[in-house]
Amino acid sequence: MQTNIDLQGLRVAVTGGTSGLGLALVRQLAEQGASVAFVARTTADVERIGDETGAHGIVGDVGKKEDIYPIALQVTASLGGLDVLINNASSLGPVPLALLADTECEELEKALAVNLAGAFRLTKALFGALAASAREGRGALVINISSDAAVNAYPGWGAYGASKAALAHLTAIWDEEAKADGIRLLALDPGDMDTPLHALAVPGADPSTLKRPELAAAEIIEKVLDALPVRATILAGTHG
């Protein structure tokens, strides 16, 4: 895995950027020179992380349809375009986790609104910007954060698992459809991480048995570099 890579000029948007994996991604991308815009719901957290990293903070909720276009407009205005979109924001649905028979319809709808519809809507709103980046030879990539709960049937994880399974399949279909526009879409499972979301889901978990979000973020950035045609240029600049 490459370290200390100079990502100068790479334009990246990250949702759920103030905690867990999203925060680790914002920090590492900004440290490595990328132009980063991140989205989260809480104004104070967005301002704090923006001040810390120099990234462009955007207050919004990807689970709300009315927030999507304002978010997309702020992303493209702050970055001057977009090369990479990382749909990381996630909702567990019911907290504490519940069996499907005990899950309220509204809790299932919340998981679907954030994990599936939110990622779909924001990708659609930013599709033109991504296609423009691809036409310019920069490459264009959408990474949707998935989970092993998308493929394994874990009791209690029904709302989350169903939404992530739908997201993974949507990603695969859209990747096929977007080839003509030069846009790639990947669904990535970062593994069980020591994050606030995991702590909500499994309060008694031993953090020492979980992956650090910083490691998962580094692995995802490596996937970004593998998927973009600018990798060779970036690495040449690192060693030049």
What residues are labeled active site?
A: 160
Residue 110 contacts residue 92 (beta carbons within 8 Å): no
Q: Please answer whether residues 43 and 110 qualify as being in contact, where contact means their C-beta atoms are separated by less than 8 angstroms.
A: no
Q: How many CA atoms lie within 13 A of 165 on its CB side?
A: 12
**94 contacts 201 by C-beta, under 8 angstroms:** no
Query: Which are the contacts of 116, defined by CB distance < 8 A and separation ≥ 6?
Result: 163, 166, 167, 170
Rounded Cα distance between 120 and 105, Å, is 21
